Amino acid sequence: MYNDMEQWLQIRQRVLREGVGKRQILRETGMHWMTLEKILQYSRPPGYRRSKPPHKPKIGPYLDRIRQILEQDKHAPKKQRHTAKRILQILREEGFTGGYTIVKDAVRELRRTSREVYMPLKHPPGEAQVDFGHALVKMKGVLRKICFFVMALPYSDGFFVKAYDRECTETFWDGHVQAFQFFGGVPRRITYDNSRITTSKIVGPRRRELTQGFLQLVSHYLFRYHFCLVRRANEKGVVEGLIKYTRQNFLVPVPQVRDFDELNAHLLQRCREDMHRKLRGQTESKESLLLQEQLSFFPLPFKPFDACRIQPGRVNSELLVRFDDNDYSVPMEYAYHDVTVKGYTDRAELSPMHLMGLNARCPYATILTAITLRRKAG
């Protein structure tokens, strides 16, 4: 089964968004037409394995050293900065055995990707920014710290807020799904910081190795993504400001609620009320600007993204199944069965795996049905 997630996403973008013909993709890749049909039908492939970066045995161990030299050069006079030839001499003194060409190419690439980028103050429609904030709430009489997801639209200044128990891949997914429904479409471009939910490794100022979970989300909605430079949160200053605005206006005084359902109902209502507000210098309300901005959105897919983490499990002799470092108690008829656990933000759903033939030896497997359990805090 084809499972290169990066190319999987690229092919879906080209065919479903850019209108590239299927025959052209088949000619370019040499893949079977059935494989292409699966790529276009499903947003996440089974058996995903992230491809490794190309191995550079000679220059690879010295790239950080070259990057360090170039970073120091930024504070030196222009006429006294290192040339590629001088960097080669330094590296050879430190054990480098390669030639001048690969050093020159590495210096050129690092200089090109480390140049300063300036963000325009005017934001085009169809772009969004995402981040998490934190606040205190009193839930069932107990003061506790919660996180809240914020997606902001700089053009219309509309925003969506939802609170969660913690910041993780499932809450990140669910926040996007709910925000897209609230806005009535999918922004074409979304800006993020460099959290571990989205980024597994920073390999350059603008280059990232992305997590499987983030790639699955992008593959389903097919929006373009943009990551801030390290320690440059001002590149998503709109959502940073709205996190502060949310905390000061929606969560002061400290809310006293029964559960997250009550808290999120409150936050959703405040988001809707805020859409009637006019910003300084604007003649139209946020709601009117959002209606204009929706013309720049991608339409919502027919099937929403299933915002859950899927993991196989097995029920033990104590009628417990392990998921996300927690044990869940299940009915007696599930004893010793293989199950599929789907972990959402607030619940865990267990389904028998006999439909895939894993429990065919058990004559009672077919009587099992899916069950839902309350998700425990991680």
Q: Which residue has the higher pLDDT, 333 or 145?
A: 145
Distance CA 90, CA 100 (A): 12
Of residues 220, 149, 215, the one with CA closest to residue 179: 149
Give pLDDT, residue 366. 37
Pairing of strands 208-210, 199-202: antiparallel
Helix (H) or strand (E) holding 208: strand 208-210
Give pLDDT, residue 279. 79
Distance CA 175, CA 161 (A): 8
Give pLDDT, residue 33. 87
Report the pLDDT averaged over residues 224-235.
80
Per-residue pLDDT for 63 more than 50? yes
CA distances to 9, 17, 47, 282 from 220, rounded to whole Å, are 9, 12, 17, 35
Lowest mean pLDDT among 20-24, 94-98, 258-262, 314-318: 314-318
Report the pLDDT averaged over residues 149-165.
95
DSSP 155-169: TTTEEEEEEESS-SH
Share of the chain above pLDDT 90, in %: 41
> What one-letter code names the amino acid at 323?
F
Domain boundaries, the chain: 5-41, 60-113, 127-296, 309-374
Question: How large is the angle between the packed helices 212-221 and 5-12, nearest 10 degrees?
Answer: 10
Give pLDDT, residue 138. 95
Per-residue pLDDT for 42 more than 90? no
pLDDT level of residue 43 (50, 70, 90 thresholds) = confident
pLDDT level of residue 51 (50, 70, 90 thresholds) = low
Maximum separation of any 2 CA atoms in the chain, in Å: 81
DSSP 102-138: HHHHHHHHHHHHTS-----SS--TTEEEEEEEEEEEE
Give pLDDT, residue 346. 76
The Cβ of residue 244 has, within 10 Å, a number of other Cβ atoms equal to: 10
Give pLDDT, residue 355. 40
Distance CA 241, CA 234 (A): 10
Task: Domain 127-296: give its CATH code.
Answer: 3.30.420.10
On the question of a cis peptide bond just before residue 253, with omega within 30 degrees of 0, the verdict is yes
Report the pLDDT averaged over residues 299-303.
92
50-86 burial, b at 16+ Cβ within 10 Å, e below that, comes to eeeeeeeeebeebeeebbebbeeeeeeeeeeebebee
Mean pLDDT of the chain: 84
The phi and psi torsions of 141 (rounded to 5 degrees) equal 80, 0
> What one-letter code names the amino acid at 332?
M
Per-residue pLDDT for 233 more than 80? no
Q: How many CA atoms lie within 13 A of 209 on its CB side?
A: 10
Q: Which residue has the higher pLDDT, 129 or 365?
A: 129
Give pLDDT, residue 47. 53
Structure tokens at 308: 């859950």
- Quick: pLDDT tens for 328-363: 777 777 777 787 777 777 777 777 764 433 333 333
Give pLDDT, residue 372. 64
Per-residue pLDDT for 274 more than 90? yes
pLDDT level of residue 2 (50, 70, 90 thresholds) = low
Q: Which residue has the higher pLDDT, 255 or 61?
A: 255
Give pLDDT, residue 311. 76
pLDDT level of residue 264 (50, 70, 90 thresholds) = very high
